[in-house]
């Protein structure tokens, strides 16, 4: 494997992940920092609760985009270096690293978000059909229950079995980084899991 190409792909993925849409939107449009409000999380849900739907949509799109771009660049780099045999594993590793960049952004004092939208963006470029299935399940659960965290957790948990079923298998070199990506998202929701179990989780909409 060309070590320089692999390292470049990792660096690009991390730096893309560090471009945190929530922080940028709150600073540019509201002269504020979303991390000082609500859950303190620099992500779409906290943006929506703090600034509304338009800001949340912009944030979600930005986070999706960087996940997708990181995978596309990684695929391009590996293919151009004639390392096609490593592409399958490399794109999942890129997904892990871009989510880590979102969680710990170097540009914003290493305090970011949970990485759900960024992970979705990465998966969109890796397996669009699995992503569409996961997204429909997750968004349906979120809308019915009112809990974005529940939709995110169930959607993330179902990705690997859905991808396995669609492809009739999952090579171990791809399964390991894919599992790390899923576990990262679940781990980032540990506080949400506790609140869901105790009945204290906040819904993304307020009852009138």
Is 182 a residue whose pLDDT tops 50? yes
Is 79 a residue whose pLDDT tops 80? yes
pTM for the predicted model, two decimal places: 0.87
Integer angstrom CA distances of residue 109 from 35, 102, 128, 160:
12, 11, 33, 32
- Looking at residue 205, its pLDDT comes to 60
- Looking at residue 115, its pLDDT comes to 87
Mean pLDDT in residue range 114-119: 89
What's the CA gap between 30 and 59, in Å, rounded? 13
Percent with pLDDT over 70 in the chain: 97
Is 31 a residue whose pLDDT tops 80? yes
Of the candidates 11, 10, 20, 8, which has an alpha carbon nearest to the alpha carbon of residue 107? 20
- Looking at residue 39, its pLDDT comes to 80
| Confidence band of 206 (pLDDT split at 50, 70, 90) | low
Instruction: Specify whether the CB–CB gap between 99 and 30 falls below 8 A.
Output: no
Is 147 a residue whose pLDDT tops 70? yes
Instruction: Specify whether the CB–CB gap between 189 and 153 falls below 8 A.
Output: yes
Mean pLDDT in residue range 155-164: 92
Structural tokens at position 73: 């660049």
- Looking at residue 208, its pLDDT comes to 41
Is 163 a residue whose pLDDT tops 70? yes
- Looking at residue 207, its pLDDT comes to 47
């Amino acid at each position: 494997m060309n070590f320089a190409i692999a390292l470049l792909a990792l660096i690009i993925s991390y730096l893309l992940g560090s471009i945190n849409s929530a922080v940028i939107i709150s600073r540019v449009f509201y002269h504020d920092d979303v991390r000082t409000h609500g859950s303190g999380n620099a992500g779409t849900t906290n943006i929506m609760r703090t600034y509304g739907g338009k800001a949340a949509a912009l944030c979600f799109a930005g986070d999706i985009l960087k996940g997708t771009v990181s995978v596309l660049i990684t695929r391009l780099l590996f293919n151009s270096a004639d390392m096609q045999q490593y592409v399958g594993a490399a794109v999942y590793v890129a997904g892990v690293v871009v989510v880590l960049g979102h969680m710990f952004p170097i540009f914003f004092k290493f305090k970011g978000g949970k990485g759900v939208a960024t992970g979705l963006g990465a998966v969109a470029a890796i397996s669009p059909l699995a992503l569409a299935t996961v997204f429909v399940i997750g968004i349906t659960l979120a809308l019915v229950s009112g809990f974005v965290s529940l939709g995110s957790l169930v959607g993330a948990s179902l990705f690997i079995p859905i991808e396995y079923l669609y492809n009739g298998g999952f090579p171990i070199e791809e399964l390991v980084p894919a599992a790390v990506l899923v576990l990262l998202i679940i781990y980032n929701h540990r506080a949400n899991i506790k609140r869901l179990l105790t009945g204290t989780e906040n819904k993304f909409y307020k009852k009138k």
